Amino acid sequence: MTAEPTATVVTRFAPSPTGFLHIGSARTALFNWLFARHHGGQFLLRVEDTDRERSTQEAVDAILHGMDWLGLHPDGEIIYQSKRAERHAAVAHQLLAEGKAYHCYASKEELAEMRETARSEGRPMRYDGRWRDRDPSEAPEGVDPVVRFKAPQAGETTIDDAVQGPVTIAHDQLDDMVLLRADGTPTYMLSVVVDDHDMGITHVIRGDDHLTNAFRQYQLYAAMGWNVPTFGHVPLIHGPDGAKLSKRHGALGVEAYQEMGYLPEALRNYLLRLGWGHGDDEIFSTAQAIEWFDMDGVGKSPARFDFAKLESINGHYMREADDTRLALLVAKELSTNAGHALDENEQTRLVQAMPGLKERAKTLVELTDAAGFLFAKRPLEVDEKAQKLLDTDARTLLGRMHGALQSLPDWTVDSLETALRNLGDAENLKFGKIAQPLRAALCGRTTSPGIFDVLVVLGRDESLARIADQTE
């Protein structure tokens, strides 16, 4: 189905602000955003903050920050569900007035008894409808009733889910759900339907943990005579072992991925691939993702989170990324994590070294680590592996390198390469035998960008001084 773009599509992301922006929710937001953009429609954000105890401003901020970082900008103003409680209640009262809902006075004890019977019979608890047809005159004194929905009891409902296909449930599986609590506050199920209707939502794309809710919601739409949106229930993300995603395997907030050094475009690309496919393609530009995204490409079985794949996609985006942008990100990392604010010279050196550095790093954390040699103070701390390379022979060889390089008229990749290759030939040494100790002396480690690039970026004085520090 490659639907022609229409202006009628309205999607929403409806997080409950009780924690960070979970990686699975971020993917839900992404799918809704892409679907709306693909159809030239609107992508709205509704904060489902009706659980006043558990909802926090901090969590709202984390969600907004995560969406902003991923570039998932909502259209229109943010809707806060808690501010719409009166409207939700009004709908329940309308249903009451139309005989499609009723007051239920069942006590806590009665409900506990129903729960107990259900448990002993090994079936889920279902309210038995004892107040469904009772005359209000039988209401006990001094009890605040809840309002329950008069759900259809016979027949069945089929939802043609955009991901799962047709799913049917028999009405006797659903009891009369509560719409308004005894204190008059609306339940989640009522609020979602009223808000989705009032916001003009045409497509509800969310995790498949909400699939059973969709049937109850469907019945409410029908009772109100409202258009039912198209539902698309996306399988949840699983861990590499096929089990529920654990923290160790990636069940983290988006900000944790930011801290681990992933680029937002890489995480977004990875999340898109996680549960959606377009042939064998792995890398998508934003324009391609918008052009190609549809619900047909969403898989019916849970995708497995794979850090190695995320890293490889991130490596790709790092290599593509602009050097100045990466240098700024590394500088930020250095100043927040190492308390080292780069001066202008250091910043320039970092940009210069970036083409070589970014080839080798899979995350910004690795990139920052690899860039460390640029700003290290002499005499360098030499790590264990590099130390091993710097034996007596290597140190005397470094002395001869120092001599050869010192007299160079200019300090460019070409002249440095010629000088060092000539030295290798004269000493009858393979080039690796020259480069290895030199790298250890210049960087204090055994990995680095190309050795000539390192020399150029460090400059003549610093390079010669670092070599001299290691000669015997």
**Residues found near ligand GLU in the complex (CB under 6 A):** 14-16, 48, 192, 206, 210
H or E segment at 170? strand 165-170
C-alpha–C-alpha distance, residues 209 and 211, integer Å = 6
Assigned token pair, 233: 């229930």
* Of 157, 175, 176, the residue nearest 167 (C-alpha): 157
* Nearest-approach distance from CB 62 to ligand GLU, in angstroms: 13
Q: Which of 244, 247, 362, 377 is catalytic?
A: 247
Whether omega for the bond prior to residue 379 falls within 30 degrees of 0, making it cis, is: yes
Assigned token pair, 240: 């590499």
Q: How far apart are the first and last CA of the chain?
A: 72
C-alpha–C-alpha distance, residues 102 and 96, integer Å = 6
* Nearest-approach distance from CB 207 to ligand GLU, in angstroms: 7
* Nearest-approach distance from CB 102 to ligand GLU, in angstroms: 25
Per the CB < 8 A criterion, the answer to whether 102 and 132 are in contact is yes
Closer residue to ligand GLU, CB minimum distance, 53 or 138: 53
Closer residue to ligand GLU, CB minimum distance, 16 or 312: 16
Per the CB < 8 A criterion, the answer to whether 320 and 29 are in contact is no
* Nearest-approach distance from CB 204 to ligand GLU, in angstroms: 6
* Nearest-approach distance from CB 16 to ligand GLU, in angstroms: 4
Number of other residues whose CB lies within 10 A of the CB of residue 116: 11
Number of other residues whose CB lies within 10 A of the CB of residue 117: 12
- Residue 362 annotated as catalytic: no
Closer residue to ligand GLU, CB minimum distance, 236 or 404: 236
* Of 318, 316, 229, 238, the residue nearest 281 (C-alpha): 316
Closer residue to ligand GLU, CB minimum distance, 210 or 460: 210
Closer residue to ligand GLU, CB minimum distance, 131 or 276: 276
Residues 6+ apart with CB under 8 A from 21: 15, 29, 62, 63, 65, 66, 67, 253, 254, 255
Catalytic residues: 247
